Amino acid sequence: MAERLSVALPVVVEGKYDKITLSSVIDAHILQTDGFRLFNNKEKAALFRRLAEKKGIIVLTDSDGGGRQIRAFLSEILPKEKVFHLYIPKQKGKEKRKEKASKAGLLGVEGMEAALLRELFLPFSEDGEWQRPQGVKIDKKDFYAFGLAGRENSAQKRARLARALSFPEDMTANALLAALNLLYTKEEILQILAEQEARGQE
């Protein structure tokens, strides 16, 4: 078994089984939202806000509708510049402990392979020496120029880019923009898009 990655930033997940799975991959302060109960738990919301304000916080939720709602809520209450959103890909399946698949039929964080989770968190570990990419950030005008917003086929192009980067394909334009600025430079994004166009991916 690979040694756990040491991650200095606190990490927010949805439930206890997500925490158990992630704890086998990273050594970090992992907190639970306890699903939608977070929406009415002012004390926990305040704790997340304080932690984020101090040094930043990582958010990792499931890729289904519930996960998106929780992520959206956290995006509203936490300082945007201190929140680092990580995403698991949409994978069909059922967690071993469950008798049947979720309503969406997708694996949650707890169902992800350790290798995938390790790859997600490696840039934020001591080994990864992560820092936010330097240089010019992309903005909504760039998204339009790249054909990722405001065009007839923008949604398909965003989905194609998200799929190539192992993000959920149905991310909103704003969510994708934030994720790209967190992990990539403008030049890297342009290169990825150019390679996709050259391959003629659909």
Residue 133 placed within a domain: no
Same domain as 99, residue 148: no
Rounded to two decimals, what is the model's pTM?
0.69
Same domain as 113, residue 39: yes
Tens of pLDDT, residue by residue over 8-27, are 899 999 999 999 999 999 99
Q: What is the pLDDT of residue 100?
A: 76
Same domain as 117, residue 146: no
- Which domain range does residue 61 map to? 5-124
Residue 30 placed within a domain: yes
Residue type for 64, please?
D
Same domain as 29, residue 117: yes
Return d(Cα 27, Cα 46) in angstroms, integer: 23
Residue 187 placed within a domain: yes
Gap between the terminal Cα atoms of the chain: 38
Reported as a pLDDT band with limits 50, 70 and 90, residue 50 is: confident
Same domain as 67, residue 13: yes
Tokens 């907190």, located at residue: 31
Contact partners, residue 154, CB within 8 Å, separation at least 6: 147, 148, 173
Tokens 């403008």, located at residue: 186
**CATH code: domain of residue 98:** 3.40.1360.10
Q: Of 97, 124, 151, which residue is a domain's last?
A: 124
Same domain as 149, residue 58: no
Q: What is the pLDDT of residue 202?
A: 47
